[in-house]
Amino acid sequence: MSDGHNPWAQHGAAGLPDVWTVIAIAIAATVSAALIHEGLGHGGACVLTGGHALGISSVYFDCDRDTRIVAASGTIANFIAGVLCFGASRMVRRAPRLRYFLWLLMTINLLDAGGYFLFSGVGNIGDWARVIQGLRPSWAWHLGLIVAGAISYWFFVCFVLLELRPFLGAEGEMRLRRARRLTLVPYFTDGIVSCIAGLFNPVGMLWVAISAAAASFGGASGLAWMGMLLRGPRVRSTEFQMPEITRSWGWIVVAGILAVLFITVLGPGFKWHAQR
């Protein structure tokens, strides 16, 4: 499918995206996705269902009403945010860093949404284990989560990879190298930043494994291997190509501030009300 001729196509395919700017954009997307899941998702559902927000950190939201709706709303918020980012990214035609940020935020949100079904279905922990707790037969609900997770995760990986094509240029080795930089760099950035912040959480190391490591290195694992799908003729390039992602000190400075705040403030978290 072709999106039409773009006079910046050759420039966008000429080299590799600036790695420091890619890291910066990945930090911004990581922090945004965490706030969407914990704050807008769990926090919004808590308040809308009559609960009181007790506290928030990078790996959990504490509500005095631990309902199925509150538990499910983090994933639902991720999915809605992913859809909105898709629509917004399609409107960006000449600002490569903004469009890549929207693509990456879409990707992390959608992969988190699909991955959480698998995570809870297999491990019986996390948000969706709480959602199906007490439902019978238990094995059928777990199997349903696993099947739904596997199908949705594969679909999301294929979908976001197609949306990445305007950054990759024509077929060939350079396309693979560009894809690796645009997927592997944010994968490791997401995982490292999330785990460092998770180390400061006040509820124990278990949450580092459950929420920080699993959600980043596990939930976003599609970023680590989706580039392999570009080998061969299955994923054709598009005529429309974005300009190159060049260095932006603005993105780098903002990302540095976000990383410090995410790790030092949202990592240990803070409380609004005393636990009842």
The answer to the question of residue 71 being in a domain is yes
The pLDDT of residue 4 is above 80: no
Q: Which two tokens stand for residue 117?
A: 């079904």
Provide the pLDDT confidence category of residue 50 given band limits of 50, 70 and 90.
very high
Q: Where are the beta strands (DSSP E) in the chain?
A: 53-56, 61-63, 270-271
The answer to the question of residue 276 being in a domain is no
pLDDT in tens, 114-149: 988 988 888 888 888 899 999 999 999 999 999 999
The answer to the question of residue 4 being in a domain is no
The answer to the question of residue 2 being in a domain is no
DSSP state of 8: T
Range of the domain at 227: 9-271
Provide the pLDDT confidence category of residue 68 given band limits of 50, 70 and 90.
very high
The pLDDT of residue 212 is above 70: no
The answer to the question of residue 39 being in a domain is yes
The answer to the question of residue 3 being in a domain is no
Q: What pLDDT was estimated at residue 211?
A: 63
CA distance 260 to 95: 26
Q: What pLDDT was estimated at residue 13?
A: 38
Q: What pLDDT was estimated at residue 232?
A: 77
The answer to the question of residue 242 being in a domain is yes
Report the number of distinct structural domains present in the chain: 1
CA distance 271 to 254: 26
